[in-house]
Amino acid sequence: MPPDITHASFCNGIRYKHLVLIDTLARTRNMHAAATLMNLTQPALSKMLRDVEDQFGFPFFERLPRSMPPTELGDYVVRFAQNALADSQQFVSQVNRLRSGGHGHLRVGGIFASTAQVLPQAIAAIKARYPLLSIEVIEQSSDHLLIMLEQHKLDIMIGRFTDERFRALFDFHPLEPETFSLVVNKSHPLNDDTSITPAALSDWPWVLYPVGTPIRDRLEQAFNLAGIPIPSDSVETTSMPVFLQLLQSAPMIAVLPRTMIVESLSNGLVKELPCPLALSPLEYGVLTRKDKPLSGAARLFVDMLVEGARRRRGEQGERDD
């Protein structure tokens, strides 16, 4: 029995051209056809095959009159060659993507307010630099996104803490406050009321965020401070299209992040009411895992989000002046 093959001798002797030969011959099972595909003479291909078989100490293919099927050990070598060539093709494709501006894959979760302006601006900025970067955006409430970030289903999250236990797991980079607007449709009777009281708000049906979301918590606090209960005639949803459709189809009231309704306010789909409730803004930011360093693309994306927030604050300050 020939001596065992050492890893060092394998690495020193095997070449990718040998792997191509093994794969091509396994597919064609014919020396002449394999030589033609590899643009070699048949004697040159035959010598290359003998050389690599000698390194292993056993034949890879049977020499039959009309065919060259793999031997039992050869079949194992063929599978290795095909897997190695597939991996090398993937490697080459990824290198070309990186050279052409690709930068891997980024999974980002964002609360609804962030997807109106914050996320799109950062995505446009990073895609200008890395056009082949693949970005997946998941829009959800903070409580759902926190679980996804904990389960490594997200690289980055834009939102806020809803449970204190997550503060030990995630770093928080503040972005900007989220202001709220009290809105109805353009034909709602409250549009004619110049002095709306909290009690008047509870007389109408509402569209609310679900229990446990930060906006719902803030609204419940505002109703408690006003001494009135949360309206029982209500529909709960996190879907912005559902919010707008319900507001259009019935005399309902909603409290929504202002960034999400700027366009609807400008085109008259909804009207903003003077709000008698104490609804202070909620700050949100970028959350990342403490136990896993960010990729280069993810770090750059966080930097762009923070810089975008800083720039918007500056522009808002100039308008206020």
- Torsion of Cα atoms, 155 then 158 then 159 then 163, to 10°: 20
| pLDDT score recorded for residue 141 | 85
Residues 249 and 185 both lie in one domain: yes
| pLDDT score recorded for residue 318 | 58
In whole angstroms, give the CA distance from residue 20 to residue 38: 8
Binned average pLDDT, 10 residues per bin, the chain of 321 residues: 76 89 95 94 94 92 93 94 91 74 80 82 89 88 91 92 91 88 91 85 91 86 90 90 91 88 86 86 90 88 90 67 55
Residues 276 and 311 both lie in one domain: no
Residues 195 and 218 both lie in one domain: yes
Q: Is residue 114 part of a domain?
A: yes
- Between helix 16-28 and helix 42-56 the angle, nearest 10°, is 110
| pLDDT score recorded for residue 180 | 87
Q: Give the total number of structural domains in the chain.
A: 3
- Concatenated DSSP letters for 251-289? S-EEEEEHHHHHHHHHTTSEEEEPP-S----EEEEEEEE
What CATH number is attached to the domain comprising 287? 3.40.190.10
Residue 19 in 3-state DSSP?
helix
| pLDDT score recorded for residue 215 | 84
| pLDDT score recorded for residue 240 | 85
Residues 116 and 169 both lie in one domain: yes
Asked whether the whole model's pTM tops 0.85, one would answer no
Residues 136 and 158 both lie in one domain: yes
| pLDDT score recorded for residue 1 | 61
| pLDDT score recorded for residue 203 | 86
Residue 196: domain span: 180-280
